[in-house]
């Protein structure tokens, strides 16, 4: 018997000229080609748009199989018409999911159950929690602030006029009018809130409702808002065939559906369309599994490779969060020349390219004129700048390296793969509130889904032996067995974390003396800071002064390997203390690092009274490595440069060895000259 043909032909120019779409198709196992198909070949069409008619006609005349491709259910931050490529596709060999009156692959999946194992059921429930916790939908360009809504209100969902999913669900303009009237009649004491489609709000396509439908009981909401906030507050949800109907089910609603939508007929909806055929009872977990796990194909937009729901959700959440915080006009102050290149690439992914201005008053005024924000490298913040931003009414955002930074030192001008952005303070300064501090406190009541992710992240960080700089080091010397081993990590003594976070003990020598007093009978290992050993920063007293207090001085041993062997860490504010917590070690803090004061460390420094919450290690890790920093993929490049990505991708890049280990030679030379001839800065700025 001859093998079934795998050739696929396409007749839409976007299949060949739209690079991002073509990569997504390749990831889904489809390689469109030009020519005429033979019987048994496949013809690929996009949805049921007018452009698909050509392919449908050719397939029918040539006896070829039609394969329909459409955007998946977690698509992107912006809409396709705004130029963003899809992160998921559906590929249907019988029809398409929104044409429910004719056969399609998704209907077959639902007809078969799908029967879930307990592992699949738990994964589906975790996926639903992921969508809710991260406020993810098909499009994701909205703020996370909960809107002020009438109480009580009923949600009526609009769609784009003439969308193929409406005809496919056996609906039309009259269906929308009937839906609105039913909502009014059935909830006489509630306000009706009509939510417009994101493409309507963007001015790209009209909807079925408009200002003509507004009244003392009907409100038109075209402002961007998380659909999950709407679901949480709505008394009831009415829709025709919108994906929001499926999301309403995941929110615990039983939506009233006026079209023959793909999620109807499974005892999850109140079906008002006469053509809905019952499939019997299905659970929300079965619906999620069928749609997101079985029907969707997921693609990494940076690499073009196939991926899965969880990875896509994490990337999309990171990209949406970055856009929410950084899509406006940006003026950077206090940025050294060598940093400007990567900052420009990092921040122009959403919105205009940043502007660099050295004068703080001019920077604040310019940001105010453009309704933007001022960004400053945290150590360069001044009272003059803060006052200017307050006077101009613009946000001041501090920028710092993230906690998984690079494969090399920042002082050696190696670009970071992560940045921490803080609009309240900065993580190393306990004298004032910071965004990280708030995130940690919020994680006192961390969800199971977030806790699991943090636990998996810790395990992988430990397996890979990662730290902030990930420098290759010497083997750890033989350590005595049967002794309590204490690691004392040295720090740069003029570092801001020391200046802001230490009181009585603020030098490496003082730290070692305090550690010896705290652990009089322990074997103490002192490791100088790598910037100090590289001759790039000041580490205080000469190393020979430490030998009387430390049992062993290790200059270049691998920090991750050291942490794997010691029992405790004694520190002022070093990130090594946080890395020790990840590895289950006891940590004593003589200063006030961001991880102190949450019930996880022995705190001998001055912990702010603000830090009252008791936080799990998973809550701390989620805040510090997932919620607080932003990451960009050093190995992937897209139309707008490197992609904002989830932390898990960064771990993969470290494992692959695709993270830069050196700064660019020209930039290194320029930065050195800038330091040597600082008084002549006007010559190159």
Confidence label for 42 from pLDDT (cuts 50, 70 and 90): very high
CA 138/CA 297 separation, integer angstroms: 14
Tokens for 599, please give them: 């019930």
- CA dist 634 and 399 (Å) reads 19
Task: Give the pLDDT confidence score for residue 556 in this predicted structure.
Answer: 81
Work out the pLDDT band at 1, boundaries 50, 70, 90: very low
The predicted structure's pLDDT at residue 675? 43
Per-residue confidence (pLDDT) for residue 411, from 0 to 100:
60
Q: What is the CA radius of gyration of the chain?
A: 29
- Decide if pLDDT at 641 tops 70: no
Query: In this predicted structure, what is the pLDDT of residue 202?
Result: 72
Phi, psi of 533 (to 5 degrees): -65, -30
pLDDT over threshold 60, residue 537: no
Q: Please state the rounded mean pLDDT for residues 173-183.
A: 98
**DSSP bridge partners of 43:** 9, 66
Average pLDDT over residues 559-570: 94
Q: What are the tens digits of pLDDT across the range 333-376?
A: 988 888 888 898 888 776 788 999 999 999 999 999 999 999 99
User: Tokens for 291?
Assistant: 């749609």
What's the average model confidence in pLDDT over 596-601?
98
Do the Cβ atoms of 626 and 648 come closer than 8 Å?
no
d(CA 685, CA 681): 6
Domains in the chain (CATH in brackets) are 8-111 (no CATH), 125-299 (3.40.50), 477-632 (3.40.50)
Give yes or no for residue 678 having a pLDDT over 60: no
What is the overall mean pLDDT for the chain?
Answer: 90
Q: Which of 372, 381, 337, 368 is nearest to 353 (CA)?
A: 372
pLDDT of 61 higher than 70:
yes
Task: Quick: pLDDT tens for 13-25.
Answer: 999 998 888 989 9
CB neighbour list of residue 513: distance below 8 Å, 6 or more residues apart: 549
Residue 138's alpha-carbon distances to 123, 240, 554, in angstroms, are 20, 17, 52
Structural contact between residues 498 and 374, judged by C-beta atoms closer than 8 angstroms: no
Report CA-CA distances (Å) from 591 to 317, 366, 435, 498, 520: 34, 38, 19, 8, 20
DSSP-derived 3-state class of residue 659: coil
pLDDT score recorded for residue 62? 94
DSSP 76: B
Kindly state the DSSP code that residue 146 receives in the 8-state scheme: P
Question: Tokens 């879930």 label which residue?
Answer: 116
Nearest to 261 by CA among 273, 249, 252: 273
Residue 408 and residue 622 in contact, taking contact as beta carbons nearer than 8 Å: no
| Per-residue confidence band for 117, with pLDDT thresholds at 50, 70 and 90 | very high
Measured distance CA(379)–CA(626) in Å, rounded: 23
Instruction: Name the DSSP class of 292.
Output: I
Task: Report the pLDDT averaged over residues 287-303.
Answer: 92
- 34 pLDDT more than 60: yes
Only one residue has tokens 């709407």, namely 230
State what percent of residues in the chain have pLDDT above 90. 74
Tokens (6 digits) for 498: 């020391």
| Mean pLDDT value across residues 101-126 | 96
User: Residue ranges of the alpha helices (H) in 18-70?
Assistant: 19-27, 52-62
Is residue 52 within 8 A of residue 46, CB to CB? The reply is yes
The set of residues, in sequence order, having a beta carbon less than 8 Å from that of 320 and lying 6+ positions away, is 77, 135, 136, 140, 141
103 has a pLDDT exceeding 70: yes
Say what the pLDDT of residue 539 is. 54
User: What is the per-residue pLDDT across 375-413, written as a single tens digit (0 to 9) for each?
Assistant: 999 989 999 999 999 999 999 999 999 999 877 666 667
Q: What tokens were used for 70? A: 């459409």
Compute the average pLDDT of residues 405-425. Answer: 83
Whether residue 637 has pLDDT greater than 60: no
Distance CA 579, CA 268 (A): 46
586-589/568-571 β-pairing: parallel
What's residue 683's pLDDT? 39
Q: Which residue has the tokens 């793909």?
A: 262
pLDDT at 685: 37
Do the Cβ atoms of 430 and 592 come closer than 8 Å?
Answer: yes
Residue 195 gets which letter from DSSP?
Answer: E
pLDDT tens-digit profile of 231-261? 999 999 999 999 999 999 999 999 999 999 9
pLDDT given for residue 664 in this prediction: 53
> What does the longest C-alpha to C-alpha distance in the chain come to?
90
Positive or negative: CA dihedral 583, 420, 457, 658 = negative
Beta strand pairing call for 65-71 and 42-46: parallel
Pairing of strands 42-46, 586-589: unpaired
pLDDT at 410: 60
Phi, psi of 65 (to 5 degrees): -85, 140
* Average pLDDT rounded to a whole number, residues 163-191: 97
CA-to-CA separations, 583 to 510, 562, 651, in angstroms, rounded: 26, 11, 16
Check residue 532 and give its pLDDT. 63
CB 581 within 8 Å of CB 569: no
Range from 243-247, 324-328, 348-352, 621-625 carrying the lowest mean pLDDT: 348-352
Give the range among 489-498, 528-537, 568-577 with minimum mean pLDDT. Answer: 528-537
pLDDT at 540 over 60: no
* Closest of 389, 423, 551, 401 to residue 470, by C-alpha: 401
Contact, 557 vs 475, CB < 8 A? Answer: yes
Please name the residues in contact with 109: beta carbons below 8 A apart, sequence gap of 6 or more.
290, 294, 295
Taking the model in full, what pTM does it have?
Answer: 0.88
Report the percentage of the chain scoring pLDDT > 70: 91
Kindly tell me if the per-residue pLDDT of 535 is higher than 70: no
- The sign of the dihedral angle between the CA atoms of 230, 232, 235, 241 is positive
**What are the φ/ψ torsions at residue 287 (nearest 5 degrees)?**
-60, -50
């Amino acid at each position: 018997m001859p093998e079934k043909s795998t050739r696929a032909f396409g007749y839409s120019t976007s299949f060949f000229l739209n690079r991002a779409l073509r990569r997504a198709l390749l990831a889904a196992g489809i390689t469109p080609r030009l020519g005429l198909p033979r019987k048994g070949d496949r013809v690929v069409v996009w949805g049921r748009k007018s452009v698909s008619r050509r392919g449908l006609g050719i397939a029918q005349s040539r006896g070829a199989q039609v394969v329909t491709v459409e955007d998946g259910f977690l698509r992107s931050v912006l809409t396709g018409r705004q130029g963003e490529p899809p992160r998921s596709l559906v590929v249907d060999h019988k029809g398409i999911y929104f044409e429910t009156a004719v056969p399609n692959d998704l209907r077959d999946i639902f007809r078969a159950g799908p029967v879930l194992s307990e592992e699949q059921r738990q994964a589906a429930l975790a996926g639903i929690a992921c969508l809710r916790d991260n406020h993810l939908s098909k499009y994701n360009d909205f703020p996370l602030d909960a809107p002020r809504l009438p109480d009580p209100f009923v949600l009526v969902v609009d769609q784009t006029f003439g969308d193929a999913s409406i005809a496919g669900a056996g609906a039309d303009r009259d269906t929308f009018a009937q839906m609105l009237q039913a909502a009014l009649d059935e909830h006489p004491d509630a306000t009706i809130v009509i939510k417009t489609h994101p493409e309507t709000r963007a001015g790209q396509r009209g909807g079925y409702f408009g200002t003509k439908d507004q009244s003392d009981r009907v409100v038109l909401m075209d402002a961007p808002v998380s659909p999950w906030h709407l679901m949480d507050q709505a008394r009831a949800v009415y829709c025709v065939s919108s994906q929001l109907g499926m999301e309403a089910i995941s929110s615990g609603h039983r939506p009233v559906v006026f079209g023959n939508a793909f999620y109807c007929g499974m005892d999850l909806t109140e079906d008002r369309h006469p053509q809905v055929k019952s499939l019997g009872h299905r659970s929300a977990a079965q619906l999620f599994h069928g749609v997101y796990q079985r029907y969707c194909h997921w693609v990494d937009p940076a690499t073009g490779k196939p991926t899965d729901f969880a990875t896509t959700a994490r990337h999309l959440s990171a990209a949406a969060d970055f856009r929410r915080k950084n899509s406006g006009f940006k003026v950077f102050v206090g940025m050294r020349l060598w940093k400007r290149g990567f900052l420009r690439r990092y921040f122009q992914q959403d919105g205009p390219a940043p502007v660099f201005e050295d004068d703080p008053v001019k920077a604040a005024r310019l940001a105010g004129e453009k309704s933007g924000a001022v960004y400053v490298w945290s150590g360069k913040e001044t009272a003059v700048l803060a006052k200017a931003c307050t006077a101009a009414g613009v946000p001041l955002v501090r920028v710092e390296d993230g906690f998984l930074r690079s494969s090399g030192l920042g002082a050696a001008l190696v670009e970071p793969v992560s940045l921490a952005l803080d609009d309240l303070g900065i993580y190393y300064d306990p004298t004032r509130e910071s965004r990280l501090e708030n995130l940690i406190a919020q994680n006192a009541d961390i969800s199971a889904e977030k806790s699991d992710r943090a636990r998996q992240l810790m395990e992988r960080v430990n397996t890979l032996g990662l730290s902030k700089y990930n420098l290759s080091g010497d083997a750890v010397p033989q350590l005595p067995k049967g002794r309590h081993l204490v690691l004392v990590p040295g720090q740069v003594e003029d570092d801001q974390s020391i200046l802001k976070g230490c009181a009585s003990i603020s030098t490496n020598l003082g730290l070692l003396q305090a550690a010896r007093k705290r652990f009089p009978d322990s074997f103490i290992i002192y490791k100088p800071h790598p910037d100090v050993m590289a001759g790039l920063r000041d580490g205080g007293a000469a190393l020979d002064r430490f030998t009387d207090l430390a049992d062993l001085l290790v200059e270049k041993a691998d920090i991750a390997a050291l942490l794997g062997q010691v029992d405790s860490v004694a520190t002022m504010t070093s990130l090594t203390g946080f890395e020790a917590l990840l590895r289950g070690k006891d940590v004593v803090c003589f200063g006030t690092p961001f991880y102190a004061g949450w019930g996880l460390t022995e705190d001998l420094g001055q912990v702010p009274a603000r830090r009252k919450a008791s936080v799990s290690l998973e809550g701390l890790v989620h805040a510090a490595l997932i919620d607080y920093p932003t990451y960009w993929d050093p190995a992937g490049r897209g139309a707008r440069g490197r992609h904002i990505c989830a932390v898990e991708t960064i771990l993969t890049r470290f494992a692959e060895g695709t993270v830069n280990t050196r700064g660019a030679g020209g930039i290194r030379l320029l930065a050195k000259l800038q330091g040597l001839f600082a008084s002549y800065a006007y010559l190159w700025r």
